[in-house]
Amino acid sequence: MAFELPQLPYAYNALEPHIDAQTMEIHHSKHHQAYVTNVNAAIAGSDTEKLSIEEICKNISNYPMAIRNNGGGHYNHSLFWSIMAPNAGGEPSGDLAAAINTAFGSFAEFKTLFAAAGTTRFGSGWAWLIVADGKLALCSTPNQDNPLMDIAEVKGTPILAMDVWEHAYYLKYQNKRPDYIAAFWSVVNWAEVSKRFNEAK
């Protein structure tokens, strides 16, 4: 069965003013759609069509680059849309808040380290909060790689993702990636991140 572009759980303008409607529309309907179209073309007629996108990522070293780039793009963006929401941001609570304090010292220190993972990723890529061996960790990946992939430098289950490709912010923030990253905190859906944390740990 072919992969499908997931519907956004909110309107294109719902993350304004932090992420603008035009960026969201192009990002979802053009960029993510292209990853879906291209991964489907790359797996068409093969046994890979029976697998989930997570199963493909976990064995990505067995696949050609078109599947790594476009399958990764599909997984990454599907997660990205879900961990953002309108009227969101603030701070996590409960077990996730406690785990962040244990792993990074404080929520403020976590934000500093996560932002640094995004700003220091050269060129296109992603910053991640992951669960590995039951614990939280931070990392970043190039291009459309992700920490589920068996080729990833740091492996784990992603629970928070931040796209730092220029297409994620250039229309509104131009070259100012740190300004986009600062705004990202206002749209993080901590309820969804907590849910993913509880499932992954």
**Residue ranges binding Mn ion (CB under 5 A):** 163, 165
Least distance CB 77 / Mn ion (angstroms): 6
Least distance CB 27 / Mn ion (angstroms): 6
Cβ neighbours of 165 (radius 10 Å)? 19
Query: Based on CB atoms, which residue is closest to Mn ion, 163 or 192?
Result: 163
- Dihedral of CA atoms 174, 177, 183, 188 in degrees, nearest 10, equals 120
Least distance CB 126 / Mn ion (angstroms): 8
Query: Based on CB atoms, which residue is closest to Mn ion, 37 or 101?
Result: 37
* Cα distance between residue 24 and residue 29, in whole Å: 8
Query: Based on CB atoms, which residue is closest to Mn ion, 73 or 156?
Result: 73
Distance (Å) of CA 116 to CA 125, 177, 180, 182: 13, 11, 13, 11
Structure-token pair, residue 172? 């509104």
Closest to 120 measured CA to CA, from 103, 142, 101, 148? 142
Structure-token pair, residue 105? 């010292």
Query: Based on CB atoms, which residue is closest to Mn ion, 145 or 163?
Result: 163
Specify the residue for token string 């697998």.
Answer: 51
Query: Based on CB atoms, which residue is closest to Mn ion, 27 or 196?
Result: 27
Least distance CB 71 / Mn ion (angstroms): 14
Burial call 30-69: b when 16+ CB within 10 Å, e when fewer: ebbeebbebbbebbeeeebeeeebeebbeebeebeeebbb
Least distance CB 165 / Mn ion (angstroms): 5
Q: For 32, left (φ over 0), alpha (ψ -120 to 50), or beta?
A: alpha
Least distance CB 167 / Mn ion (angstroms): 5
Question: Which residue lies nearest Mn ion, judged by its C-beta?
Answer: 163
